[in-house]
Amino acid sequence: MVDKYNCRFNPKEEAVLYCEKYEYGYCESCLTDRSVCSDPELYCKFRTHCIIWENCREVAKKTEAGG
Ligand SMILES: [Zn+2]
């Protein structure tokens, strides 16, 4: 069973973050990975307060700038 209180990628890990759009949980090690957002390019109404996106955004910026 999928549980938003556990990590999407590491089900044994407790989620410290939660994607409101997809209802996925993410553990601390996934957060450090900085590319866990499922749709970094897509509009997300939760983005303004999404810590997952905050991290992904930095990666996306670098990609946009051409590396
Ligand atoms: Zn994880």
| Domain layout of the chain by residue ranges | 17-64
Radius of gyration of the chain (CA): 12
Give residue 17's pLDDT band: very low, low, confident or very high (50, 70, 90): confident
Question: pLDDT averaged over the chain?
Answer: 81
Quick: pLDDT tens for 27-49.
988 888 767 788 877 888 988 88
Residues 54 and 64: their CA atoms lie apart, in Å, by: 16
The confidence score (pLDDT) of residue 54 equals 82
Q: How far does residue 64's CA lie from ligand 1's centre (Å)?
A: 26
Q: How far does residue 36's CA lie from ligand 1's centre (Å)?
A: 9
Q: How far does residue 45's CA lie from ligand 1's centre (Å)?
A: 23
The confidence score (pLDDT) of residue 12 equals 93
The confidence score (pLDDT) of residue 18 equals 87
